[in-house]
Structure 1
Amino acid sequence: MPAVKHMKWWGWGVEGVSFHWEDKPAFPAFVSRAVGIDVTSPPAQPMSIEQLGVPAPQVSDDVRGRLTDAVGATNVAYDDHERIVHTYGKSLRDLLRLRAADLPRVPDAVVYPGSEDDVRALLELALDADLVLIPFGGGSNIAGSLHPEPDETRTVVSLDLGRMNQVLDLDEDSGLARVQAGILGPDLEEQLGRRGWTMGHYPDSFTHSTLGGWVATRSSGMQSDKYGDIAKISRGMRVVQPGGTLVVRPLPSTSTGPNTREMVLGSEGRLGVITEVTVQVHRIPENRLITAYLFPSWEAGLAAMQEISTSDAHPSVTRVSDSFETQFSLSTRKESKGFSVSSAVGNGLFKLLERRGWDLDQACLSFIGFEGGRAHVAHEKAIVGSIVKAHGGIGLGKGPAVLYDQKKFDTPYIRDFLLDRGGAADVSETAAPWSRLLPLYNAVMENVRKVYADLGVTGWVMCHLSHSEHSGACLYFTFAFNHDGVDPIAQYDRVKEALQQTFIDQGGTLSHHHAVGTEHSRWLADDISEQGVVMVQGVIDTVDAGRHLNPGKITRS
């Protein structure tokens, strides 16, 4: 098999890497209070692949031979492990179903094309033999965009683009890079970085997600305030479709009717297989600085972010956590060995703030990033510092921010840690105008807590503002609770529904950057209107009349 890196089938990340609480003295008490879990309890052990009872692949000898002809025998897999890795994404529902051996439909084969010609041959085979193709990037999706339909009777092939992982060309005059869609985030930045460039796109899933996956789900990254989300970064693309190849040229701007590039963004494989993307890239900045701040309240933090968004400063990161996420973050700090200047300063600062009348239970931690030349960074940092001060906040310096920068991709491992001990945790995010953010936030917190009370579980919900726009921002909610062990998916559905329905009721979107998939499709008409769904379905039906490309995602038809 090709040397394509995959996450472990039963959880996030790679084998041998996990979250550890032993060096975090505040974590056990926090988790006990927040979700009623004893972190010292022994973790559940995942089943072996053999125990899952993976159904045999449904592939005719003819199709097996034609798949081999298309990509070569070493690039086709039928073994249970490969097929399970490609069955689900990494949502809580996905992991609960995997751990319960709930496998109504598993891909029958996994193929690894090495070129656009290979992809074209596979799609032609799918059309001729009436197969289902599901494009697969890194497998990090949490919106239900990857699993086959449970009642699918046709042969299902997972099309893993992991071999297509190269930066093909770099136009330095235009700041455009032509890149194969199967490249993982770290490999993309490493190949660009060798030549002094960066794309600047860092979603939470960065380590285990691909460029094609980002485009297919309309991804945003931690630095989207400066670089834009993937919809802004992606300038051109090549998409293999039934009947031909869609070519979107990387032009600065056009007015040539409805935008085909926009149609592909967020299409989750339903409009074709993305093979290449031409992306906007930037010279690696001379300086990169992330600074931590502390606000006396969530309201103060939101107000500061709004003012920053319309100021002359243009930070790369604008993030502020509510008090509940701040408490969580503080609980994950490692134990200091001996005397620590940062710990001593931090403890002294908190005592000083208490004397000034701060309620530290309401304090909100913020991280703001700056990039550019030394003078530019100093200028923007001064503007932000004045705004923070005007809203009652204080600067904490680079120390906490450096720790955040180092650990920013590790949070999903905590979800697995809780899941191993009877906890259920996941995320939902939205975007809304500034005028709606606080009412939306308050309604979400109230409604989720009501669900916890109705279920009789100990639960926690927390939030951060992750990206700012001129007219509004993204609110990113994390929820966790101690499930009953009987039907955790039913309990999860109650919490998830409370979040998503409140987003819609309060004027937000069903998802800012996690796509639609099957998790969010029931709210699609509320988000884009019934006529909007008609238009989306019409495009899908026109491009893929035979429903060969990832059917059942975004819309159920």
Structure 2
Amino acid sequence: MAGTTVQPTSRTRSWWGWGWADAHPDDAECVAMGALLPGTLARPLPVPRVADLDIARPAVEPPPSLAHLVRDDPADRAAHAMGKAYRDVARALRGRPGRIPDLVARPTDEQGVADLLDWAGDREVAVVPYGGGSSVSGGVEYRGDAHRAVLSLDLTAMGRVLEVDTEGRAARIQAGALGPDLEDQLRPHLLTLRHFPQSFEFSTLGGWLATRAGGHYATGRTHIDDFVQSLRVVTPAGTSSSWRLPASGAGPSPDRLFLGSEGALGVITEAWVRLQERPRHKASAAVTFTDFQDALRAVRALAQSDLSPANCRLLDAGEAALAGAAGGDRSVLVLGFESADEPVARRLERAVRLALSYGGRRDGATAAGGARGGSSDGMPSGAPGGDAAVRAWRSAFLRMPYLRDGLARMGAVAETFETAATWDRIPGLIEAVRTEVGAAALKATGHPATVNCRLTHVYPDGAAPYFTVLAAGRAGDEVALWDDLKAVAGEVLHRHRATITHHHAVGRDHRPGYDLQRPEPFALALRAAKGALDPRGILNPGVLVD
């Protein structure tokens, strides 16, 4: 059964910051936030304008046969120059966005992708797959000067659900489908992919696949990998199309080669993905703890139980206060359950009782969902009218990237990074990050920094801590400060054998940590794969391999 193309929204994306241009904090809100962080600027930096950038003419022109797919409009090119990490926002605010692509291409089918790659290879043009542009690890920008020109490859014109197999609960979907559009096309079939990263509104299926993105499920199916049946990938060496199978033991998986390859080995053009019925029953609750170590033990017990909560996010006291989910020194555990066919209130109560047995305290009443269609807003389980802490966290979750950009306008460092490690390393890792990154920020700025932590995903054998860093910046030198703090954090992660990224991807920002983490024989095989599939080295140069 074929899908239909969803009409684009009329709202305008911010070229320099997160999300919608009309959703950013105004000057007064920026000043109010800056007042809470000593050492920030007295007034916000102005919102940057494309007109103030020095954008050179394109170094190449597309051939007439491809001209209808390519644009060289300065605003379009500037919007495709970077992702949405703090360092990207800070550079844009200072008028230093880096190398702006010469051209932006929007192919409408797979043949267009192949033709663009052929042309780019012949002309020594680097091709950077863009997805939705929500990268926070330097994954969608070109750094260096080894290529004569740069083409940003935007697949959002390829955003259709092409086929739905209702019996097998799967769909064939083009890689350029943005999260909301994808869910809108599945809704008439009463099915959902239900993969909701925080960037859901502004990221694509292809981007999720290329970065092995984490979704909203805190346990079980935490990554997009778990939903993939097969992939189609266009490479300079040809098109790879794997069989659609429920499972296979036939050698190394071809899909695994391209999942997480970040556009360095090929361009993912479509995928068969596993779907599920839309959840009708939801329930959520919050449990607070005075002792963070007790909270960690409670979460580990939940992860090792058979309860499988959809949401099991632990916010330390600082993160809970920042989200408005609790005050003082109490950590908050946000729990959520959902199901398409049976009420989940009893499972929630079992989870709450387990958390209480580790010293937790229950505040408020259970929020239980009725027989409504599942939400597609990119948020974990929860229903209106639930715990105040759950509602506060949900609101902060959606608003936080915009507030980060507001703090960046005040010259502050406001960024996040995440990792994963086994349970035996988690307490020491969290303490080391808080202590060492905080000390580095104090030494660099003379002002104390805030380093908060939450657990976003939990497993029987470990967890994924997610850190928030808030610090006064150094006027005009904010990016260098963040790079220094990032290096300190990376050293701590490596020392504790924690991954350089759990779900944010490697990009260019995490390459040093990734190079240290991966085994050398694997690196050798990856370089060989790069050479075989992309012999001219045009695909996202600098990502994963040189």
TM-score normalised by length of structure 2: 0.90
Cα contact 1:287–1:371 (8 A) shared by 2: yes
**Alpha-carbon distance in structure 1 between the residues aligned to 2:351 and 2:253:** 36
Deviation of the 1:375 alpha carbon: 5.2
Q: Give the residue type in structure 2 aligned to 1:67.
A: L
Q: Give the residue type in structure 1 aligned to 2:345.
A: A
The residue aligned with 1:352 is: none
**Alpha-carbon distance in structure 2 between the residues aligned to 1:321 and 1:146:** 30
Q: Give the residue type in structure 2 aligned to 1:57.
A: P
CA displacement 1:61-99 (0-9 Å, x = unmatched): xx342422xxx2xx3210110111111111122222222
The residue aligned with 1:510 is: 500
Q: Against the structure 1 CA distance between its residues 31 and 299, is the aligned structure 2 distance closer, same or farther, given a 3 Å change threshold?
A: farther
Q: Against the structure 1 CA distance between its residues 14 and 162, is the aligned structure 2 distance closer, same or farther, given a 3 Å change threshold?
A: same
**Alpha-carbon distance in structure 2 between the residues aligned to 1:242 and 1:231:** 24
Of residues 418, 424, 432, the one that matches 1:443 is: 432
Deviation of the 1:120 alpha carbon: 1.5
1:76 paired to 2:43? no
Cα contact 1:57–1:78 (8 A) shared by 2: yes
Q: Against the structure 1 CA distance between its residues 295 and 21, is the aligned structure 2 distance closer, same or farther, given a 3 Å change threshold?
A: farther
- 5+ unaligned residues in a row in structure 1: which ranges? 334-345, 347-359
**Alpha-carbon distance in structure 1 between the residues aligned to 2:472 and 2:524:** 40
1:17 paired to 2:18? no
**Alpha-carbon distance in structure 2 between the residues aligned to 1:202 and 1:189:** 10
The residue aligned with 1:426 is: 415
Deviation of the 1:551 alpha carbon: 0.9
CA displacement 1:12-66 (0-9 Å, x = unmatched): 1111112369899xx95x864555448xx54221232121111221114xx3424
Q: CA RMSD in A?
A: 2.3
Of residues 452, 463, 477, the one that matches 1:473 is: 463
400-409 or 458-467: bigger deviation:
400-409
Cα contact 2:83–2:135 (8 A) shared by 1: yes
Q: Against the structure 1 CA distance between its residues 535 and 243, is the aligned structure 2 distance closer, same or farther, given a 3 Å change threshold?
A: closer
Cα contact 2:213–2:223 (8 A) shared by 1: yes
Deviation of the 1:376 alpha carbon: 4.7
Of residues 272, 276, 285, the one that matches 1:282 is: 276
**Alpha-carbon distance in structure 2 between the residues aligned to 1:127 and 1:309:** 48
Considering fraction of residues, name the structure with more helix: 1
Of residues 318, 323, 335, the one that matches 1:324 is: 318
- 5+ unaligned residues in a row in structure 2: which ranges? 1-6, 366-385
Alignment of 1:161-172 (within 5 A): 161-172=155-166
Of residues 176, 193, 210, the one that matches 1:216 is: 210
1:464 paired to 2:446? no
Of residues 316, 322, 331, the one that matches 1:364 is: 331
Deviation of the 1:218 alpha carbon: 0.8
Of residues 488, 507, 516, the one that matches 1:498 is: 488
CA displacement 1:111-136 (0-9 Å, x = unmatched): 11111121122122222333221111
State the secondary structure of the residue aligned to 2:95: coil
Deviation of the 1:209 alpha carbon: 0.6
Cα contact 1:297–1:323 (8 A) shared by 2: no
Alignment coverage as a number of residue pairs: 516
**Alpha-carbon distance in structure 1 between the residues aligned to 2:295 and 2:91:** 38
Of residues 379, 387, 392, the one that matches 2:346 is: 379
The residue aligned with 2:50 is: 49
State the secondary structure of the residue aligned to 1:225: coil
State the secondary structure of the residue aligned to 1:518: coil
**Alpha-carbon distance in structure 2 between the residues aligned to 1:188 and 1:224:** 22
1:195 paired to 2:195? no
**Alpha-carbon distance in structure 2 between the residues aligned to 1:549 and 1:268:** 9
State the secondary structure of the residue aligned to 1:369: strand
Identity of aligned residues (%): 31
**Alpha-carbon distance in structure 1 between the residues aligned to 2:342 and 2:125:** 58
Q: Against the structure 1 CA distance between its residues 242 and 175, is the aligned structure 2 distance closer, same or farther, given a 3 Å change threshold?
A: same
TM-score normalised by length of structure 1: 0.88
**Alpha-carbon distance in structure 2 between the residues aligned to 1:117 and 1:437:** 47
1:537 paired to 2:513? no
**Alpha-carbon distance in structure 2 between the residues aligned to 1:523 and 1:234:** 27
The residue aligned with 1:399 is: 387
Cα contact 2:101–2:150 (8 A) shared by 1: yes
**Alpha-carbon distance in structure 2 between the residues aligned to 1:289 and 1:192:** 23
State the secondary structure of the residue aligned to 2:344: helix
The residue aligned with 1:338 is: none
Q: Give the residue type in structure 1 aligned to 2:194.
A: G
Q: Give the residue type in structure 1 aligned to 2:319.
A: E
